[in-house]
Structure 1
Amino acid sequence: MTPPPTRSGPGAAGKRRPRSYAAAKIRTAVLTQFGHVREAAGTLTPEQLSGPTRLGDWTVRELLAHVSTALGAVERALALPEPAKAEVAALDWPFGTAANAEGIADRGRALADGAPDIAALLARTEERFTEILETTADARPLAVGAGAMSLADYLVTRTVELVVHTDDLNDAVPGLDVPFDRQALAACTRLLADALAVKAPGASTEVRIPPFAVVQCVEGPRHTRGTPPNVVETDPLTWIRLATGRTRWERAVDDAAVRASGERADLGALLPLMA
């Protein structure tokens, strides 16, 4: 994932108990969201594919190639020696993406250059990925950038890649309106909300992202009952854009996409969370 430059975050999810995800639902969500992107790619004209995106100098074609690599990473990991056990969870992943951003971007560009038919590339990736899911157990450890992670946890991170880049694609091609799978959107929202709670541990501020997530964060007096003194509320896509640097905090507040009340409700210094 390669959004605009961001401040680095802690890579210490161990201080927070990881949220559990239903593995079967996550598998379905990843396949469904990827399928939405693949279908949309088949409708794009050469002019649209060569158009710009909000990701620096990436074209739409390169963005779609990167989406392919997001699932292709599972196949690449399976080709490596199997780690003895999974040592990190999905919640560790957001804090390690910046270190791998350059290599990921180069891989996506090379794949785009070698794939004249981007829709066919996505179709092949989907076919191989489906076969992998049919033959690989959820608990199988994978050697990935964040460390040794189970397939089940790694697939949760794929919901972030797919949802974020679906939003990038919709931004780049007005009127395309690729849909978001509800389960993929929920998992992406929750993982990034939990990452905020890891980065800013505490219980003085309540962050609400209905209908998917509520987390407490930021050091200060602990709230125990009644209306919290510090509340932030926004919708899932706005939250995802804030967490990944697509939208700045000040702009979201000015546009009323975020409602923030209380002296500890300004999250601007904590965002974005990942690169």
Structure 2
Amino acid sequence: MSLDRTAEDLLAAVRASPRAVAAHDKTAWVGLFAEQAAVHDPYGSREHIGPDAISRFYNVFIAPNAIAFRVDRDIVAGYTVVRDLHIETTMSTGATVTVPMHLRYDLVDTAGGWRIARLAAHWELGVMIARLLRTGPSGLLAGVKLGPQLVGELGMGGAMGMMRALRGVGGSGKRVVDRLFAAAASGDAAGVRALLDERTVVELPAGHPIAVTEFAESARDLEWDKMIAAGRTVSVSVCVGASRGVAFVDFAPDRPRITAVRFFLDGDPSGD
């Protein structure tokens, strides 16, 4: 199978998700996932593993709502698809919230075709809650209804696991990434080395590791805008040379040290 055909098949598998969501077809949506697949939504919360857990996730977060995917860009790298998008959710109470998001799908080839092995939804729970409350009484009512739904479907442990997404690198992580990208964009190798070390994994593009010193040169004139802090990862919409995509910057679990920087890009970052 050619790489282009594989990329088309991966995209088709991923694009089936919003169709199933829009149709409220639970069987089709859950069927997109491989056995023992993991859903991290939002990233940083407790994951949902296996068809039963993913089914309960659907009952809480998809079934009661109307969800529209506003996709700006899709990137395929290996067996991973990254989507740069906004998601518009209209709750059962009528409250509508739009949240910026980066979605990462890791897929696996099975006897039944390509299936999602891991879905990581990078969006900020705190931002969503604030926007929901700003919608007024309908938003407040939606929040009141969600609590019992969470506990009923996921149990108290699952509800508390959801709240883990409020913790993470947050604004401080965003500021570190902003400093790193500013140093790289200006060709400040010393500034880059001050934030990264030889233990840091740098992939530009994803799947192609490079040295920190090479990153300082390759990312010159880097541009970035949408930045999301979810769990211990900051995801960023980027432009490197003629290529656009999403970078994921991972931090150590116990301290603000960058452990990995991976750029998923839609073309050759050299512009050749």
Same fold (TM over 0.5): no
Report the TM-score when normalising by structure 2: 0.24
Structure (1/2) with the larger helix percentage: 1
Structure (1/2) with the larger strand percentage: 2
